[in-house]
Amino acid sequence: MLDATVVKLLNEQINKEFYSAYLYLDFSNYFESAGLDGFANWYKIQAQEERDHAMLFYQYLHNNNEKVTLEAIAKPDQAFSCHMDVLKAGLAHEIYVTSLINTIYSAAYDVKDFRTMQFLDWFIKEQGEEETNANDLISKMELFGSDPKSLYMLNSELQARVYSAPSLVL
Ligand code: MG
């Protein structure tokens, strides 16, 4: 049996990760409409990764004989006035998710739940990578986004991103 607070936070994280997937699909949706298929591809793959994250939390709870409750997924309701707005919303979201992971880790630490801490280690590292990726996108857009030819090249670069399953297997 895991600690009740830890279970509650892990269960909520399933929903947060599915929301992340939905949010990134909305970003992809924005870029599809804007004609930037590479950016759309990048965020579509990002959405796929977030679904994987949700399923890892789901499976971790089941593997520990805990009950999972699936809640409603919130509607992504941000309006964007330019491409950069989307990228910045992505970074802000990842910083928020990092804080959520840290909160669960902290709760596990409080009750000496070493198993959950070890499970979360992968997510601690993953969040570092997610923030780096979001920052890199913003930097590239700042450098190249205002020139149509450079934007075309950047879009082509993001078009090349391919999905790969998470390295964490439960
Ligand atoms: Mg995630």
pLDDT of 88 = 98
Q: How many Å lie between the centroid of ligand 1 and the Cα of residue 47?
A: 9
Tell me the average pLDDT across 130-153: 98
Per-residue confidence band for 8, with pLDDT thresholds at 50, 70 and 90: very high
How high does pLDDT run on average in the chain?
A: 97
Q: Which residues of 25-52 are buried (b: 16+ CB within 10 A; e: fewer)?
A: bbbbebbeeeebbbbbbbbbbbbebbbb
Q: How many Å lie between the centroid of ligand 1 and the Cα of residue 18?
A: 8
Q: How many Å lie between the centroid of ligand 1 and the Cα of residue 6?
A: 18
pLDDT of 95 = 98
Q: How many Å lie between the centroid of ligand 1 and the Cα of residue 32?
A: 22
Sequence-separated (6 or more) residues with CB below 8 Å from residue 163: 45, 48, 49
Q: How many Å lie between the centroid of ligand 1 and the Cα of residue 46?
A: 9
Model confidence pLDDT, tens digit, residues 13-45: 999 999 999 999 999 999 999 999 999 999 999
Per-residue confidence band for 152, with pLDDT thresholds at 50, 70 and 90: very high
Residue written as tokens 């190249």?
Answer: 144
pTM above 0.85, yes or no: yes
Q: How many Å lie between the centroid of ligand 1 and the Cα of residue 53?
A: 5
pLDDT of 93 = 98
Q: How many Å lie between the centroid of ligand 1 and the Cα of residue 50?
A: 5
Q: How many Å lie between the centroid of ligand 1 and the Cα of residue 17?
A: 5
Per-residue confidence band for 133, with pLDDT thresholds at 50, 70 and 90: very high
Residue 102 CB-half CA count within 13 A: 8
Per-residue confidence band for 121, with pLDDT thresholds at 50, 70 and 90: very high
Q: How many Å lie between the centroid of ligand 1 and the Cα of residue 54?
A: 7
